[in-house]
């Protein structure tokens, strides 16, 4: 069902932008870079780390660790494991790192690139090519955020789907049931989500009923007023008769009938006379 929903909702994608370099490690400026020799590296008697062919940190048995250039005061080398930790990281720390252990240069290379955290995105809605289409865009400055993926909350079960930065929304029975949507940006430094944006094609429940109520109530009141006006004399006479009868202590719906056989002063017959 989710795939059907997505297919009905999205009809066009624009320019993929989520290819991450497979061999690149990303770090956030101000955070930490960790450089680890290959697993299984033991019995270290000497280690040398280089950054873009420049010396970064060096240790040999029976000697203290030496740090070079900008790494002095920011780097910590653990001789027993060869781990090199750099903090706080700067943009200048991006590049290629190589390591030499026990006077042997290893083939492993560590490429690092700096990224900034993604901004809090905003959903922009613009007219589409057709009247019943809208272009949705997940906006925010990602020029220094490195590789970024864009995710949309546009499914019936409210799960995230990775799509493009700009997508097209088409009006249909499915999209009319979606009250809102949102997007988020994800990069190696983390992720941030936008606020919910109202769906311009959302059909609010009860809208038709409310409209009919606005139309029918005035008509009903007008009909009632007309009937009262037309039959006012009849209504007035009915009320007046009831009030007069009530004033005399008589229930107008129960008028007693006189039975001449039960009355004491009824006329006598000729034989009785």
The answer for residues whose C-beta is within 8 angstroms of residue 36's C-beta and 6 or more apart is 81, 82, 83
The residues that bridge with 169 in the sheet, in sequence order, are 10, 134
Here the tokens at position 233 are 């004399």
Q: How far apart are CA 112 and CA 43, in angstroms?
A: 27
The predicted pLDDT at position 36 comes to 93
pLDDT attached to residue 221 = 80
- How far, in Å, CA of 27 to CA of 168, rounded? 33
Average pLDDT, the chain: 80
Domain boundaries defined on the chain: 2-19+121-185, 30-115, 207-262
| Residue 21: predicted pLDDT | 53
131-180 per-position pLDDT tens digit: 888 999 999 999 999 999 999 998 777 889 999 999 998 888 777 888 88
| pTM of structure | 0.59
Q: Which helix (H) or strand (E) holds 217?
A: helix 207-230
Q: Output the CA angle 28-31-33, nearest 5 degrees.
A: 85
- Return the SS3 of 135: strand
Q: Which pLDDT score, from 0 to 100, does residue 223 have? A: 77
Alpha-carbon distance 242 to 67, whole Å?
A: 112
Which residue positions in the chain have pLDDT lower than 50? 1-20, 207-209, 250, 253-255, 257-258, 260, 262-264, 267, 269, 271-273
pLDDT at 211: 52
Task: Decide which of 2.60.40.10, 1.10.3720.10, 3.90.105.10, 3.40.630.30 is the CATH code for 30-115.
Answer: 2.60.40.10
């Amino acid at each position: 069902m989710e795939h059907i929903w997505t297919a009905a909702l999205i009809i066009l994608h624009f320019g993929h932008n989520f290819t991450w370099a497979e061999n690149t490690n990303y770090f956030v400026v101000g955070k930490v870079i960790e450089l680890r020799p290959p697993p299984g590296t033991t019995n270290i008697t000497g280690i040398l780390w280089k950054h873009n062919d420049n010396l970064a940190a060096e240790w040999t048995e029976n000697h203290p660790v030496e740090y070079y250039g900008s790494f002095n005061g920011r780097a910590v080398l653990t001789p027993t494991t060869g781990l090199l930790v750099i903090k706080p990281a700067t943009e200048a720390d991006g590049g290629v790192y190589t390591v030499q252990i026990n006077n042997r240069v290893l083939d492993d290379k560590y490429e690092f690139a700096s990224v900034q955290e993604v901004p809090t995105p905003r959903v922009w809605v613009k007219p589409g090519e057709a009247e019943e289409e809208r272009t949705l865009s997940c906006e925010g400055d990602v020029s220094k955020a490195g590789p970024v993926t864009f995710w949309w909350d546009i499914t019936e079960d409210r799960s995230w789907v990775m799509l493009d930065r700009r997508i097209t929304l088409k009006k249909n029975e499915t999209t009319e049931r979606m009250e809102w949507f949102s997007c988020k940006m994800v990069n190696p430094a983390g992720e941030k989500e936008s606020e919910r944006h109202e769906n311009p094609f959302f059909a609010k429940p009860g809208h038709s009923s409310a409209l009919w109520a606005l139309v029918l109530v005035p008509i009903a009141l007008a009909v009632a007023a007309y009937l009262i006006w037309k039959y006012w004399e009849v209504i007035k006479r009915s009320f007046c008769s009831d009030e007069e009868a009530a004033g005399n202590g008589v229930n107008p719906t129960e008028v007693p009938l006189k039975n001449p056989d039960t009355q004491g002063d009824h006329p006598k017959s000729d034989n009785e006379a």
